[in-house]
Structure 1
């Protein structure tokens, strides 16, 4: 029998490379090395898909050399901390999107930079971000759609980024509802007030990450100058609608937080007012015996009632009657 040739082992991934593969007609052809990306990209009908996570400058330079990426885009991808945007460099696109995840009860933000051109797509992740292996697996399970190449992959990545906003919003929503109930039914602590402020600040950051995606998706959907397959443009409308719903949810949660924050301040002021009224009421009641005792403590020589047999009991009775009347009036007016 002829000797069987063992299957070729997939190339070992170097640090910073999450996945690197080439696709043709909607099917995965092979895993590739970064230094072979340019060769595969030049083959008609082939798409190189590379996923990177916090790559080094040297790795980005090698990818740029293979796929002829624009130096300014590479510089942005290396530095990170970019605002969401979409830029054209000849027949290629450079897209920056912000990602969000819940990390230890707080919203952590990251970035994804996307290089898209004919025959390739490169995703560069920084910071808090879910891996796109799920996107890759879903695309590979739909060869017909994946046959649209880099345009379909771009759509799925953007859709995945937007979908990952929802778990963050749901977590924040549950926490806000709990804090809102406490504000309305009981006094909240200083730490909870700080948490309200922190949540409102995080939601503002999330809104700043979401809103630019609306413009990005609309440009991908409508602008004819961008190198996007016309058949794929309607798919970006779905992402646009999804982003719009996310933005509306963020705005509604920020309004609820603003109400809860204002309500906490008003509840605190109301509690202080209640305490002030109670103190004022008791001070008025205690002023009666204080005043009478002060009069009898003047030690005048001519005070006829001092020698009256029932003077002590009469004074005590007057004090009790006046204090009782004041207590009744304050209680009736809900000061006590």
Structure 2
């Protein structure tokens, strides 16, 4: 099998130019051609209204301080800076928060303001090519509404959408803070899917190494696993502190009844962090195991070569003595000297083989 080669990806240059004024919205991703897609869920315990919005201005009417309905507006397409600026102006979102929304390399963070709360985090999933994809997702929690911003279409919220449509559970009976919890919980639950996939990859590779079935490109596989673990760790490690801050927040938008649910998410993040650290150590152990297996194979080869050399040393010694051109060697003139000498060599060979086997060197 041909050895798998790894092509080095060119380092991406940052799109955000240094020296820009704070609050300047610059999209730092690669999906420049992504079309703007806006979906809206407006619901109460009695009814639900779902619609795809054609323009960002259609979302403005859902901001109301008196209605008992909850609105979730999901915006896909961070490359549409004008739309982000418009909705930010209407909902009075700070320019620095809008800047963080468009900056996909932003570290997960949590910010509190008087009238809203901002949460940035990473959404992880495996794509069709079994590659780990990471997408930034941002939430704005306000009075009776939640805004979510994604880089592109496709997310992990399909089950949540069905729960809202069907009215399952408590999603339509509680407020916007519970909706924020449900969105974060869906993202965190999907971390489990990614972690389980990583664990299966590590276990399969570990079995191959233990059974000597590893391929030539095993080092590339180990490096890929290291990178995936690092991306997961970068996404989940700061999230634990974010959930902890939400849980301890005394903001008026966070209802006391919702705090136990955030505590549950916090417990999940702690568990995922622990699993990530365990898998990280296991991946480092895979490299040690691989190097050990290579060393063992080399030792086996050297062992066989050493035994072969040891067997032929006395035989070569005998052949060397009787290969000398001296006239006064009476054994050379005996008519049965040749078969006797071959017999002696054969007996020595057998004795040495028996000795090596008793010593368990063979």
The Cα RMSD (Å) is 2.7
Q: Is the 8 A contact 2:37 2:153 kept in 1?
A: no
Partner of 1:51: 74
> How many pairs were matched up?
323
Query: Residues of 1 paired with 2:110 and 2:154: CA distance?
Result: 19
TM-score when normalising by structure 1: 0.85
Change (3 A) 1:64 1:25: farther
Unpaired stretches in structure 2, ≥5 consecutive residues:
1-33
Q: Is the 8 A contact 2:111 2:118 kept in 1?
A: yes
| Structure 1 residue 17 corresponds to structure 2 residue 37 | yes
Partner of 2:330: 304
Instruction: Summarize deviations over 1:153-210 as a string: whole Å, max 9, x none.
Output: 1000000001112222222333332222222223412223432332233123212211
Change (3 A) 1:129 1:17: closer
Moved more, 64-73 or 309-318: 309-318
Higher fraction of helix: 1
Instruction: Summarize deviations over 1:273-310 as a string: whole Å, max 9, x none.
Output: 11110011001112233222222333123223222333
Q: Per the alignment, in what secondary structure is the counterpart of residue 121 of structure 2? A: strand
Unpaired stretches in structure 1, ≥5 consecutive residues:
1-13
Q: Per the alignment, in what secondary structure is the counterpart of residue 114 of structure 1? A: strand
Q: Is the 8 A contact 1:109 1:127 kept in 2?
A: no
Change (3 A) 1:142 1:30: same
Query: Residues of 2 paired with 1:226 and 1:87: CA distance?
Result: 14
Moved more, 261-270 or 107-116: 261-270
Q: Per the alignment, in what secondary structure is the counterpart of residue 216 of structure 1? A: helix
Instruction: Pick the aligned partner of 2:232 from 187, 206, 218.
Output: 206
Q: Per the alignment, in what secondary structure is the counterpart of residue 112 of structure 2? A: strand
Partner of 2:9: none
| Structure 1 residue 156 corresponds to structure 2 residue 182 | yes
Query: Residues of 1 paired with 2:108 and 2:316: CA distance?
Result: 71
Q: Offset at 1:53?
A: 1.7
Q: Per the alignment, in what secondary structure is the counterpart of residue 101 of structure 1? A: strand
Instruction: Summarize deviations over 1:64-117 as a string: whole Å, max 9, x none.
Output: 122111111111211212111112244322211111112222322222111222
Query: Residues of 2 paired with 1:241 and 1:288: CA distance?
Result: 71
Query: In terms of Rg, which structure is larger?
Result: 1
Residues 117-136 of structure 1: pairs in structure 2 closer than 5 A: 117-126=142-151, 130-136=155-161
Q: Is the 8 A contact 2:126 2:194 kept in 1?
A: yes
Change (3 A) 1:209 1:146: same
Q: Offset at 1:239?
A: 0.8
Q: Is the 8 A contact 1:169 1:250 kept in 2?
A: yes
Q: Offset at 1:236?
A: 0.4
Partner of 2:30: none
| Structure 1 residue 282 corresponds to structure 2 residue 308 | yes
TM-score when normalising by structure 2: 0.80
| Structure 1 residue 106 corresponds to structure 2 residue 131 | yes
| Structure 1 residue 69 corresponds to structure 2 residue 89 | no
Q: Is the 8 A contact 1:21 1:49 kept in 2?
A: yes
| Structure 1 residue 41 corresponds to structure 2 residue 67 | no
Q: Is the 8 A contact 2:104 2:135 kept in 1?
A: no
Change (3 A) 1:288 1:143: closer
Change (3 A) 1:287 1:243: same
Q: Is the 8 A contact 1:96 1:113 kept in 2?
A: yes
Query: Residues of 1 paired with 2:197 and 2:153: CA distance?
Result: 16
